[in-house]
Structure 1
Amino acid sequence: MSRPGSPQEPVRDSLIDAAKDRLRKHDVGSKYSHLSYNKYSILLPLLAKGGKLHLLLTLRSEKKYTLVTPVVGFIDHNFEAQPNPDEVKHVFLVPLDYFLHPRVYHQKCLTFSGHSFITHFFEYMNPEDGVIYQIKGMTAKFAVLVALIILEKKPTFEVEYNLNDLTLSSEELFLKFLRYNTSKL
């Protein structure tokens, strides 16, 4: 555990400050709050550890056909999760850059009602205990978007986003997904 004023603190603070600045550039605020739909938020907790940003993930079920707002939050590097075992099986950290340069990855392109969607599937082995986790669905999609925004690097795989305009292309993808989920056809 590092103490205030330790050599790691300026590096950690710099990582977090840079990430916050990049996220602010892409914040759409309440632009879509007027949409009537089942609405939920998902917290994407980041922490700085070992000179890198990590995403704290949990193994749990995902809700489908809902409007989910990703909310990025920063937690203290000394945070120790105490999950309710009835709701969360495991808590683990994944370096944020893994979502741009994974060791094990595949994707599928799905087409619904004339709209194409890329689904990402990451396999991550936790170096602390050797457990292999599957990261997919909305969690994977939001992890990729956050990594693109914060790290400002090109991934080693195809994405649906225009890397030159992440805000506009992520909004277009959101609206395409919303139209697909609200279509009665």
Structure 2
Amino acid sequence: MSRSRHPQEPDRNNLIDDAKTRLKKLDVGAKYSHLSSHKYSVLVPLVAREGKLHLLFTVRSEKKKKLVTPVVGFIDHNFEAQPNPDEVKDVFLVPLDYFLHPRVYYPYHFTQAGHSFVMHCFEYRRPEDGVTYFIRGLTARFAVVVALIILEQKPTFEVEYNLNDLLSSCEKQLLLYHATSKL
């Protein structure tokens, strides 16, 4: 009887394949590329470890205000970050399901141009060393949307999206936010 060298590999591959299938269902391609001449993309890196998907985050030293498109990518489970300390202060993983079932979450409600918005704010404590990270703003918004799409679960907090028609409600929120944003 032969033994697999990597017994978790089929589970990891299934996890990633399922996530890719769910993401493809809601891929809008270049549908909104006409909205701004100042367009940027941000990678939403997912890694499968210990039977779960995790988001890989970096703590950056600067912020830019432009139209940002999330691009979900999958990285190898053996990936070890080697950041440039002049650009990145820290790198950490957060389980994807944390963005639907967080231990510490608080919403920040605000009104802009007569429209109400919610900024999701997460506090995540890394179990290995107890370091606490704050994930909010656009980063938190992208994390919530990716978790909703891939995990297909209802969060423990209210979201501004219609979970029965996630694509349309995400598009509506994007267009509304872009129209009212001072970016």
Question: What amino acid does structure 1 have at the position aligned with 2:150?
Answer: I
Q: Does 1:156 align with 2:159?
A: no
TM-score of the pair, normalised by structure 1? 0.94
TM-score of the pair, normalised by structure 2? 0.95
Q: Deviations over 1:91-124 (max 9, x none)?
A: 0000000000000110011111111110011000
Query: 1:5 Cα shift?
Result: 4.6
Q: Does 1:98 align with 2:98?
A: yes
> Which piece of structure 1 moves more, 112-121 or 12-21?
112-121
TM alignment of 1:23-172, pairs within 5 A: 23-60=23-60, 61-64=62-65, 66-172=66-172
Q: Tell me, yes or no, if the aligned pair for 2:55 and 2:93 is still in contact at 8 Å.
A: yes
Task: State the identity as a percent.
Answer: 68
Query: Partner of 1:15 in structure 2?
Result: 15
Point out where structure 1 has 5 or more consecutive residues left out of the alignment: none
Q: Deviations over 1:72-102 (max 9, x none)?
A: 0000000000001011000000000000000
Q: Deviations over 1:103-150 (max 9, x none)?
A: 011001111111111001100001112110000110000000000000
SS at match of 2:72: strand
Query: 1:33 Cα shift?
Result: 1.1
SS at match of 1:89: strand
Q: Tell me, yes or no, if the aligned pair for 2:36 and 2:67 is still in contact at 8 Å.
A: no
Alpha-carbon distance in structure 2 between the residues aligned to 1:168 and 1:62: 28
Question: What amino acid does structure 2 have at the position aligned with 1:150?
Answer: I
Alpha-carbon distance in structure 1 between the residues aligned to 2:49 and 2:140: 21
Alpha-carbon distance in structure 2 between the residues aligned to 1:181 and 1:150: 27
RMSD: 1.5
Alpha-carbon distance in structure 2 between the residues aligned to 1:57 and 1:177: 23
SS at match of 2:36: coil
Runs of 4+ in structure 1 deviating by more than 6 angstroms, as ranges, are: none
Alpha-carbon distance in structure 2 between the residues aligned to 1:63 and 1:98: 26
